[in-house]
Chains A and B, each alone.
Chain A
């Protein structure tokens, strides 16, 4: 059932709030502001508190979260978001802090932020982190600006960034924002970086190669050292997209693979909730030689206190008005302290176990385009099913009918009819089996009655939505 808009609950004069009294003698605002600066009318809803609660509760019931069930979006790492982290983030002494309070009043928060930086540096094998970027893409931009600033400082002219064709769309988009041109290189038949093509693409104008490892097919780039050498020998740097860190945490570190810069998505590997699209956090790690270029300010510690260092003449500047998504950092820290080094490693082990189990159970029914070993996620192709009349999009919609979320679809672009599946470690074998059975059942349905799948979803609050109409006749507000 559709839920009407909040404005449709309005009744003139209805209120859902109460504010403290004015108390002071009445002030004539006209004494201070010109008449022409006052607004005539503000057309916002006039609703009661109960209206608001009922409406947004009704809307929440049209949604699906990780607590509802499996959320196997590849590259998104939708793992369980522990409730205790939410409680911690709401401790008033941690949350009721103004960004311009004195540093002496914030020593507790600085203490854990400093430890969080150290932990993330240890996990990723880097020398220093900045917590300022507020999303993965924001981290990419920050990392690339650091690279840009480094070369400018050294007086070395660089204009290009190399991106594999299997990369996340944010990689090329971020590199362009950082002022670079993009060179895209094709993957080889095993889904990995084609060394020959990489060699052809590299020249002295290349500032960086951006790589996800394991890549978006879930495959570890086994030639990573050679790749690093090729880039470094040409005077370029290596950038690691941390979206897939859940595959290697505790087993391998990007820093040890000779990556110079990386970002980590704390809302993925470190389990802070994604909030329906955000907030996230895209902390950036760097090797020592890039330290001068970090965004301002840098959290430091002297004999007595923690403090922000603003005196950073070579800094790229700020990328966020304040210090990043602090509230998200509290949750990530709580997560890391709950698990510790051993728990984090066990996380990786089980994420990889779960993904490989699903792959083993599904690779007969669906085409497995790349046979290489995969880690925390894998990519299937729906081409066999497509031939029988239902596309990957249809399969995704049919999954919704069974009350389960769909994988990432049509990505990476190098696989036709792609379904990118990442179960994460917090699902158990029963949940995995249920999902596997559902996918197989849908495949059977395609054999017997493709129309049923083609017209999916049937059981959701709305049927398949017309995206073409939405784009051609935009209706973007009431």
Chain B
């Protein structure tokens, strides 16, 4: 099967118009020495029915979350996704459109971006947001590069409470730009503020903390704000979980200069890690707006004075500025941003708060019970949001594999980050029965 619809007769007529006998003649501009003289060794050419059977068969070699109760989090969360989202983003006008280069025929995409920016600003407590970046990790890296350009400094203080994968991506992006990364250690499961204070000086470009952090703990934002404010040029970058912001005070209110993070929890399917979206918002100051990476939509007027939307402030971008651009961002995660927009609209003022509250309360119910067990201990009982770290004298690997036998994915084994323990995340989807059953099974271990 292919998707070519010109018939043989039509093709022959077209060749005549071009003035060649065969298509091969057109390809004569490719030198013989680099031409492929054989067919591609790529299997396929199958019907729709066969494709579906084949992929179904492949899918059955996976164990998806469908058959399990999941407590996995660590940057990707199993929140409820309202059914209308997939219907709306399956409208071809959204998903088969390109980047809105012709604004007058792309008002749908552009207005969605404008609404997305507005709601991201509201959640994060900032004034300006871009139209999305590639994921939470690369958005954190872009935020760091942006902060370095604004402050004209090179030193970046990265909290060890920041997701280890985000720290790695930040290094990948930052090292070629000669950024100097200093890791600020932990005290328990939150950033060691004495260490932060010792490392803060006028040469620091940015302090990067996660809120709630990788372990689910809420950092002492008030203290961090105070420390940072002693140095005028130092920026505070907060990597936030947008669901938690339904309940928690926005990073903007704690003096954040740039807020970034992973938008997946806002209505996006888990999809084995992507496509997700990175969000990035900042203060409404000229030096910030000039340095923000990625696309931005803005409202304007048409020739008759009607409201309309365009991509704007494009003199920051690669297609105009080339090597002087703020970033190489071109393709972003527009459809995922549309998903998050529809999610924020659907859940709305009360719903987002309710998701956050229910996740919080269920997580604490579970953590209290686990902490009462002899063989398990919750490390951050007093400051976590909906994700917490558990330690045990038992083999973590065995604990998790025994739970899997019972159709429970009991959390992320922190050994993948060279640490001991389990990171458990509880979303609003988990029922009391599921929570009690997990405790019961752990108790019997």
Contact = CB atoms under 8 A, between A and B. Distances in A.
Do these two chains really belong together in a complex? yes
A339 B45 contact: yes
A22 B431 CA distance: 8
Interface residues of B, number: 203
Contact of B112 (A16, A59, A345, A476): A59
A169 B358 CA distance: 46
Given A44-B344, A76-B98, A109-B62, A170 B318 contact: yes
A137 B330 CA distance: 7
Contact of B59 (A44, A87, A93, A251): A93
A91 B58 CA distance: 10
A93 to B, nearest CB: 3
B328 A88 contact: no
B129 to A, nearest CB: 7
Contact of A136 (B78, B117, B296, B330): B330
Contact of A169 (B42, B319, B412): B319
A17 B82 contact: yes
Interface size class of chain A, counting residues whose CB lies under 8 Å from the partner chain? 35 or more
Interface in A1-52: 2-3, 5-7, 15-17, 19-20, 22-27, 29, 32-33, 36-40, 42-47, 49, 52
B348 A111 contact: no
Interface stretch (A273-281, A381-389, A440-448): A273-281
B349 A45 contact: yes
Contact of B31 (A84, A111, A119, A225): A225
A275 B94 contact: yes
A338 B51 CA distance: 7
A189 interface: no
Interface in B401-415: 404, 409, 412
B30 A47 contact: no
Per DSSP, are chain A's interface residues mostly helix, strand or loop, or mixed? loop
A343 B2 contact: yes
Interface in B78-111: 78, 80, 82, 84, 86-88, 90-109, 111
From B48, B62, B136, B362, residue with most partner A Cβ within 10 Å: B62
B105 A63 contact: yes
A474 to B, nearest CB: 5
Contacts of A373: 26, 28-29
A317 B104 CA distance: 41
B44 A338 contact: yes
A303 interface: no
B218 to A, nearest CB: 6
B353 interface: yes
B105 A109 contact: no
B65 A96 contact: yes
A338 B70 CA distance: 34
Interface in B49-69: 51-52, 54-56, 58-66
A65 interface: yes
Contacts of B93: 60-65, 67-68
A212 interface: no
B30 A252 contact: yes
Given A63-B107, A252-B30, A169 B318 contact: yes
Contact of A475 (B75, B107, B295, B300): B300
B329 A360 contact: no
A141 interface: yes
A81 B93 CA distance: 12
Contacts of B322: 169, 172-173, 182
Contacts of A396: 102
Interface in A443-473: 455, 457, 460-467, 469-471
A153 B272 CA distance: 32
B58 A111 contact: yes
B102 A98 contact: no
A32 B111 CA distance: 39
A206 B4 CA distance: 42
B362 A22 contact: yes
Interface in B162-189: 163, 165-166, 168-169, 171-173, 176-178
Contacts of A256: 34, 36
25 contacts: A20-B80, A39-B245, A39-B250, A43-B122, A63-B94, A64-B93, A64-B105, A73-B98, A81-B96, A86-B95, A94-B55, A100-B72, A111-B61, A222-B30, A256-B36, A276-B109, A320-B138, A322-B273, A327-B275, A340-B42, A342-B45, A353-B18, A400-B102, A474-B298, A477-B129
Given A271-B3, A320-B134, A343-B45, 9 more contacts: A56-B345, A63-B106, A168-B319, A172-B323, A337-B46, A353-B14, A408-B101, A426-B5, A477-B127
The 9 A-B pairs at the shortest CB distance, nearest first, are namely A322-B273, A93-B59, A275-B335, A340-B44, A108-B61, A321-B137, A340-B45, A179-B176, A277-B334
